Amino acid sequence: DTAVSQTPKYLVTQMGNDKSIKCEQNLGHDTMYWYKQDSKKFLKIMFSYNNKELIINETVPNRFSPKSPDKAHLNLHINSLELGDSAVYFCASSQNRDPTEAFFGQGTRLTVV
C-alpha cells in the first residue's frame, strides 16, 4: 500500500496549458504539503493544508491553486503553465502539523515545453 500517492508521475505539456496533479494519503494524517524541487535538487515548500484549511502559502504565483476536498487529498492545479514551472512536485503528509517524519510521495515530474 502506497502511503502518499501522486498522479500522474510524469506530465509533459505546452506553455499556456492548465494542468492538475492529484495527491492522496492513506496514513490518516491531518496535514498535507506541496513541495517543488528544481533542477538543482532544491526542495522548497509551496503550500500546506491542515484539515482542509490552508496554513502555508509561500509566495507562490496565483497561477498555482491547491484544493483539499478532504484531509486525505490535496490537489494542485496550475493555470497558464510557464517554462519555469518545469520541476518535480512532491506531495507530503504529516500528523498535527508536525514535520516529524513527513512522508513524501514519489513526485510528479512536470516538463513544460
Partner 1 sequence: EDKVVQSPLSLVVHEGDTVTLNCSYEVTNFRSLLWYKQEKKAPTFLFMLTSSGIEKKSGRLSSILDKKELFSILNITATQTGDSAVYLCAVGVGGNTGKLIFGQGTTLQVKP
Residues interacting with partner 1, by CB under 8 A?
Answer: 4, 31, 33, 35, 40-45, 48, 50, 55-56, 90, 94, 97-107
- Grid cell at residue 5: 500517492
Distance separating alpha carbons of residues 56 and 94, to the nearest angstrom: 14
Residue 65 CB, nearest approach to partner 1 (Å): 19
Pairing outcome for strands 108-112 and 10-13: parallel
Q: Do residues 65 and 79 lie in contact, with contact meaning Cβ atoms separated by under 8 Å?
A: yes
Distance separating alpha carbons of residues 62 and 86, to the nearest angstrom: 16
Residue 18 CB, nearest approach to partner 1 (Å): 26
| Cβ proximity to partner 1, 7 vs 106, nearer residue | 106
| Cβ proximity to partner 1, 17 vs 86, nearer residue | 86
Residue 86 CB, nearest approach to partner 1 (Å): 17
Distance separating alpha carbons of residues 74 and 91, to the nearest angstrom: 8
| Cβ proximity to partner 1, 80 vs 97, nearer residue | 97
Distance separating alpha carbons of residues 30 and 20, to the nearest angstrom: 22
| Cβ proximity to partner 1, 15 vs 66, nearer residue | 66
Residue 88 CB, nearest approach to partner 1 (Å): 9
